[in-house]
Amino acid sequence: MTTPKEIVRIAALGDLHYPKIPPEVLQGLLTQATAQADVLLLCGDLTDYGQPDEAQRLAQACVTYAKIPTLGVLGNHDYQSGQHEEVWKILCDAGIIMLDGDACEIHGIGFAGVKGFGGGFGQWALQPWGEMTTKQFVHEAVNEALELESALAKLRTPQRIVVLHYSPIRDTVVGEPPEIFAFLGSSRLEEPLNRYAVTAVFHGHAHHGAPEGQTTGGVPVYNVAVPLLYKTYPDRPPFRLVEIPVTPP
């Protein structure tokens, strides 16, 4: 636990796909985030192929240039090589707080995170019907939502921030081809956000989606995929900076 502040500045980004992003760009990005924020959130797809050497190089950059508390979740690319457990360990060993159904408190704000999963949104969400593989796909999304709910239930702070890779709402994937919406997120992740009155949600994954939206309960949701931020805000560093006023418990 860290000392509470009156306002906490959160810098959030996702989809670094390291080393696809050049080392000098990553260095500048982490340096700028450190200068402008109190907490850094990494919203998945941190590596490009989920290789340990990619994670090692990213971890070293974070140790060297990210001088603020850093939290993260894995993304689907981090699972690509089947070495996600080693990738996870490397990032944790570098001091990054990795979340997967976990929660922590920093500067008086609670943080919870899971990777999330696909399945689609609203009335078009995939249902557990038919072949076993379809049911397994749906159950993966359900399990991620349950993990998120469990993490949020652990927090006792008035402000709760959620870190995801997949989107919990349709609004922030609009701009992507509609045919792939079901693979970009799941509205099953939305229910715990509304139930626990989450303050803000950050996710990545949808490189061509929309930068922000909100849940049916009015919770702000920010898509912080680096390619999207580059395109949407070309005059800014590619991270989303949000100020969270801290209310004493």
Q: pLDDT tens for residues 171-190?
A: 999 999 999 999 999 999 99
pLDDT above 90 coverage of the chain, percent? 96
Contact 136, 177 (CB under 8 A): no
Contact residues for 159 (Cβ-Cβ < 8 A; gap 6+): 108, 109, 110, 199, 244, 245, 246, 247
Q: What is the mean pLDDT of residues 20-35?
A: 95
Tally the domains of the chain.
1
Domain range for 41 is 7-245
Contact residues for 166 (Cβ-Cβ < 8 A; gap 6+): 44, 115, 116, 117, 118, 144, 184, 185, 186, 189, 203, 205
Helix, strand, coil % in the chain, rounded to nearest 5: 35, 25, 40
Residue 223 has pLDDT above 80, yes or no: yes
Domain membership flag for residue 86: yes
State pTM to two decimals.
0.96
Domain membership flag for residue 122: yes
For residue 12, the model assigns a pLDDT of: 98
For residue 219, the model assigns a pLDDT of: 98
Q: pLDDT tens for residues 64-121?
A: 999 999 999 999 999 999 999 999 999 999 999 999 999 999 999 999 999 999 999 9
Residue 220 has pLDDT above 90, yes or no: yes
Q: What is the mean pLDDT of residues 37-49?
A: 98
Domain membership flag for residue 42: yes
Strands 160-163 and 109-113: parallel
For residue 5, the model assigns a pLDDT of: 78
Which tokens is 237 given?
């560093």
For residue 163, the model assigns a pLDDT of: 98
Residue 1 has pLDDT above 50, yes or no: no
Domain membership flag for residue 192: yes
CATH number at residue 42: 3.60.21.10
Beta bridge mates, 221: 201, 213
Domain membership flag for residue 14: yes
Residue 226 has pLDDT above 90, yes or no: yes
Alpha carbon 32 to its chain centroid, in Å, reads 19
Q: What is the mean pLDDT of residues 43-68?
A: 98
For residue 194, the model assigns a pLDDT of: 97
Domain membership flag for residue 78: yes
Beta bridge mates, 113: 102, 163
Domain membership flag for residue 1: no
Q: pLDDT tens for residues 118-175?
A: 999 999 999 999 999 999 999 999 999 999 999 999 999 999 999 999 999 999 999 9
Q: What is the mean pLDDT of residues 12-18?
A: 98
